[in-house]
Structure 1
């Protein structure tokens, strides 16, 4: 992923600790912190302003992508030396996309999507191709600029 182009990511959270509803509060802005895995931290450090991230609820009976956030502040350290980025809610998925559906319908090789290759990693890159395929499965997200007739 180049430095000048938009990058895409998937960030995981357990809804009991931080849910989409929590994210939507406070104008949708939050710190994304608490990442401990070295590879996930490296990925988080690669976030650039305006990158988009799928907001993924893990640790549930049906793990699923529920929304999209954008990066509004790149990697920094707080006063305790903990690294974090700031993200802002962009929109809720029009239709949540659960893990089972992705595995069946994306029709991609396991090596082409970090969520399939390293399912425990909390911050994974998403190729533009996979991003677009997931958006199709979810019928996009609120605020994506696409007008959808919900009655269709």
Structure 2
């Protein structure tokens, strides 16, 4: 047997490296190779797709309050402060505010109605009627004898609660002498059906009455009348009584008065009363000083 050739040192190092490499690489297909430390997964097959979430782990996020959401549509005219809608508050408060501060005369209409305070016979009947007669009346007085269609239409337009100036006409000093109130709305004028009445109208009948009356009550007599000349003095162009109808249609016995004209004439009447009071006071003081 031939003697074994001794390997060189370099060959021995190469063999050692080869052995180490073989030991580090596991063999495939054999049961003798090194076993995987992780045991094989047994049981159900792994499902595809996203894993199902645990129902207990699902938390429904709390809904944010509606107030925090961005409002849709047009923005509110009034910002909401402290949970109170100012626009709704304003709407709620407006009726009560109006009721508390409302002028009770807002829906009232005003008129001027003429009567003759001095005696005058018509068909043998005295047609005199003054504010003193109205004041003395114990029941509402029918304002009869109106025989002009325009004046009649004004009579029919009157409402209960309306007020009217009592105007003395066809006398020495005509003018406004006081105030009366309409307490009953228009009804047929019975005087038109009475042949003995000075204002009888044979063309009027009960089936279709042509003329109407309202019933009035006394409310006030002025200390000093507002004369026709007083009214005319304020009827200049641009004046407060420029459009006063009784000055434009002088023969009309019933005419409307607007609220501005009414207040102005009332102011004239009250001003005259104040002037009279001052004059009376000054005359009394003069009499006392002379004594």
Asked if residue 116 in structure 1 is aligned to residue 227 in structure 2, the reply is no
The structure with the greater share of residues assigned to helix is: 2
Q: Secondary structure at the match of 2:265?
A: helix
Q: For the structure 1 residues 97 and 28, does the alpha-carbon distance in structure 2 shift closer, same or farther, using more than 3 Å as the test? A: farther
Write out per-residue CA displacement over residues 5-56 of structure 1, whole angstroms, 9 at most, x where no aligned residue. 1000000011121111111112363110110000000000011001000000
Q: Any idea what SS the aligned residue of 1:138 has?
A: helix
SS of residue paired to 1:35: coil
Query: What corresponds to 1:37 in structure 2?
Result: 148
Q: How does 1:5-44 map to 2 (within 5 A)?
A: 5-16=107-118, 17-27=128-138, 29-44=140-155
* Consecutive unaligned residues in structure 2, runs of 5 or more: 1-105, 119-127, 194-205, 279-291
2:186 pairs with one of 75, 79, 87: 75
Q: Relative CO higher for 1 or 2, CA cutoff 8 Å, sep ≥ 6?
A: 1
Structure with the largest fraction of strand: 1
TM-score, normalised on structure 1?
0.84
- Residue number in structure 2 paired with 1:144: none
Partner of 2:270, secondary structure, is coil
Aligned positions, number:
142
Q: CA RMSD in A?
A: 2.3
* Cα deviation, residue 93, structure 1: 1.4
C-alpha distance in structure 1 between counterparts of 2:246 and 2:139, whole Å: 24
- Determine whether 1:99 maps to 2:228: yes
How many Å separate the matches in 2 of 1:78 and 1:91?
25
Q: Which residue in 1 is equivalent to 2:265?
A: 134
Query: Where does structure 1 differ by over 3 angstroms across 4 or more consecutive aligned residues?
Result: 78-82
Give, in angstroms, the shift of residue 108 of structure 1.
3.6
Find the aligned partners of 1:113 and 1:125 in 2 and give their Cα distance. 8
Q: TM-score, normalised by structure 2?
A: 0.45
Answer whether contact 2:180 2:220 (CA < 8 A) is retained.
Answer: yes
Instruction: Return 27-36 or 66-75, whichever deviates more.
Output: 27-36
1:66 paired with 2:168, answer no
User: Which shows bigger deviation, 15-24 or 123-132?
Assistant: 15-24
Residues 123-152 of structure 1 deviation map (CA, whole Å, 9 limit, x = unaligned): 000000000110011008xxxxxxx7x744
In our comparison, the structure showing a higher alpha carbon Rg is 2
Change (3 A) 1:26 1:151: same
Structure 1: gaps (5+ residues): 141-147
Query: Paired residue for 2:286?
Result: none
